[in-house]
Amino acid sequence: MFQRFRRTRLNKQLRALVRETHVSTDDFIYPLFIRSGEGIKTEVASMPGVYQMSMDVAIKECEELKSLGLYSIILFGIPDVKDSIGSDALCEHGIIATAVREIKKAHPDMFVVTDLCFCEYTDHGHCGIIDEARETVNNDATLEISGQQAVVHAKAGADMIAPSGMMDGIIEVLREALDTAGYSELPIMSYSTKFASGYYGPFRDVAESTPSFGDRASYQMDPANRREAIAESISDEAQGADILMVKPALAYLDIVREIKDATTLPMAVYNVSGEYAMLKFAGMNDLIDYDRVVMETMVSFKRAGADIIISYHAKEVAKLLKK
């Protein structure tokens, strides 16, 4: 006798009882983009609903996030002055360190993650110190200052460090720097498998981090490489990462599942700016049922194996979950 799968689909309550994948507000980290000044809330044209904010506005934003049940954020800084090595990122009075202190002071119950990279802080827009001869980032020179940046974040009160620059050996270097400075219990969420993707375009508008020359293909991953993608995350697990990540998310759900099956660590995905913008503009032009597609997308991340979702949709999802 053939199986009648529809038996468990005919009744709404039974569908809910047998549902395999669930999304909750506990799954989300919401990105915030901080710049100096007061009363600043500038919407990004390529990402409707996403803003550059001054710290006072970000503190108010955290109040709204908590009212929605969202208690985790990841911070990106936009400094007033950029230079060749991203000095603002190494300063205890820089934009990120100051933002962490102010937000933790106002909202000690907020879980604050810091993106650890140099692309927002350098005048060339790349993720570290430039190797001019090869027109790429000098991996080992960037590792040296990355450890300094991690300690700055830790001293400011960050709850978790998230290195995104795709430097080889970064997790080992950060773990050693943090442990030596007395922060052995501070977790690291690695951007362990980060692809050189076309989906990042709008992010470079909000973070003001477009490279002044070339691209990031020499240090971020080739989107065509599956086995290398898995090896990248396994390597970071071995170096001491606490959480692994795949970025972008939507076009790489096969990689999410394979890494999830190959490692023992929690898995994050970054639902990136291009993915957000595609749904947002499709919804604004009545091409899709926006709310339905957003929730379907979030379920797909969880179904693929994600434990954590970093997403600009987080506030919208939280509101939908309350309906």
Q: CB neighbours of 283 closer than 8 A, spacing ≥ 6?
A: 290, 293
Q: Residues comprising the binding site for Zn(2+)?
A: 117, 119, 127
Burial of 40 per CB tally in 10 Å (0-12, 13-18, 19+): middle
Catalytic residue among 60, 82, 105, 194: 194
Note whether 121 and 86 are within 8 A (CB). Answer: yes
- Rounded distance between C-alpha atoms, residue 151 and residue 246, angstroms: 25
Q: Residues comprising the binding site for Mg(2+)?
A: 232
Cα 61 to chain centroid distance, Å, stands at 18
The reply to whether 247 belongs to the active site is: yes
Tokens found for residue 10: 């005919």
Catalytic residue among 12, 60, 247, 260: 247
- Scanning 168-289, the segments in alpha helix (DSSP H) are 170-180, 201-206, 226-239, 253-262, 273-284
Q: Residues comprising the binding site?
A: 117, 119, 127, 204, 216, 232, 273, 312
The reply to whether 323 belongs to the active site is: no
Residue with tokens 């969202």: 70
Q: Residues comprising the binding site for 5-aminolevulinate?
A: 204, 216, 273, 312
Q: CB neighbours of 77 closer than 8 A, spacing ≥ 6?
A: 33, 34, 35, 88, 89, 94, 95, 96, 99, 120, 121
- Rounded distance between C-alpha atoms, residue 130 and residue 185, angstroms: 32
Q: Which one-letter DSSP state was computed for residue 32?
A: E
- Number of Cβ atoms within 10 Å of the Cβ of 235: 17
- Active site positions, annotated: 194, 247
